[in-house]
Structure 1
């Protein structure tokens, strides 16, 4: 865990010295596996489906360790509408909540600052290097900072969220398609739910599920 944090900080420092103007880009549709690591609590692994056009995300955990062993997440996000559902399939129930922040780990934020293109490994030996773009920014609603890594083709593969703790999101087993569109449909037992009131001072976001 500590090695991953040091790597993120190292990439940020190196990229800062080579900053240049660069236009943000859009992620593709994706199905894959997301590994979420908290340096204090442990990690959880989840299957996800992301519609980059409609900006919808379904995230369902299936493995975890240490403190996260009780963290069973099934969340459906509608970022453009500013709402999300926490789904309990076992009990056929859900909670519908408002989103105060639309930033998440599957898309380069529109206001992200491009730092640099760089290569992990060797830039001169074939198949021995990973070319990547480094981005950074701040989540306005929480004042948290982030550093994000993407492929040269805008495929996000890492996102480090830095607030009271550090969350590291690793995007793996990526397929650039929506393999099961039904995962992005609101379950029938959730359709009648109304949006819950958000407690004063609370910021609901993709990241708050892990804090």
Structure 2
């Protein structure tokens, strides 16, 4: 798994030729769904699943299956930033953990302070419909907690990949890959906690760990 991550990083570091102008920061759509994979550098975490993204109401839903330290897991995460809460949902036994989010909503788009790194082609532009132009950006993670390298499509500004290196040790670098993106959210109920979550009591944190988007993958 670590080899796959390193190959992906190397791909992002190879600049394409032929573009005279530096791409400008783009604005991603406010509503879309798709698939996501997550892996950590120490290979303890690998997950794949679906996600729904709503920048208007500041909501993210993740439904994932994966492995942590060679053990399988299946759960859902619902982050409601305007309410300041995050739900860890386990449908197999209908249990729900409700914790206070400890970060502000960060849009899944090119950050305002990002620096352009390179423009690459996934596939080839030698033939029609066989290549995808992607722009790579770098910068500091929110709250100066680490660094990131993210890529977005030149047309549409949809996320392709992200590499995040936190300052703390943790699991080291995390890689995110996004695929099968579809504009809009067909199922608005994806952002509604299931009925069995109504009795969940709010916790300030979980075992003393920071509760935010990145803590989902710890």
TM-score, reference length from structure 2? 0.78
Where do 1:105-116 residues align within 5 Å? Answer: 106-116=108-118
In the alignment, which of 145, 149, 157 is matched to residue 160 of structure 2? 157
| SS of equivalent to 1:209 | helix
Deviation at 1:84, TM superposition (A): 0.9
* Rounded Cα–Cα distance in structure 2 between residues aligned with 1:72 and 1:12: 33
Cα distance between partner residues in 1 of 2:98 and 2:208 = 18
Q: For residue 170 of structure 1, give the secondary structure of its aligned residue in structure 2.
A: strand
- Which shifted more, 168-177 or 187-196? 187-196
Deviation at 1:68, TM superposition (A): 5.2
Matched pairs, number: 208
Q: Is the 8 A contact 1:24 1:112 kept in 2?
A: no
Q: Does 1:197 align with 2:198?
A: no
TM-align CA RMSD? 3.0
Q: Which moved more, 1:101-110 or 1:88-97?
A: 101-110
Q: CA deviation at 1:83?
A: 1.9
Deviation string, structure 1 residues 88-111 (Cα, Å, up to 9, x no partner): 223333121122234668444444
Structure 2 distance, partners of 1:105, 1:61, is 20
Show the counterpart of 1:140.
Answer: 142
TM-aligned CA deviation for residue 197 of structure 1:
1.9
- Counterparts of 1:11 and 1:190, CA distance in 2: 41
Cα distance in 2, alignment partners of residues 6 and 12 from structure 1: 10
Counterpart of 1:27?
Answer: 29
Give the C-alpha shift of residue 10 in structure 1. 5.2
Unaligned runs of 5+ in 2: none
The structure-2 alpha-carbon separation of the partners of 1:170 and 1:207, relative to structure 1 and needing over 3 Å to count, comes to same
* TM-score, normalised by the number of residues in structure 1: 0.81
Residue 92 of structure 2 corresponds to 90
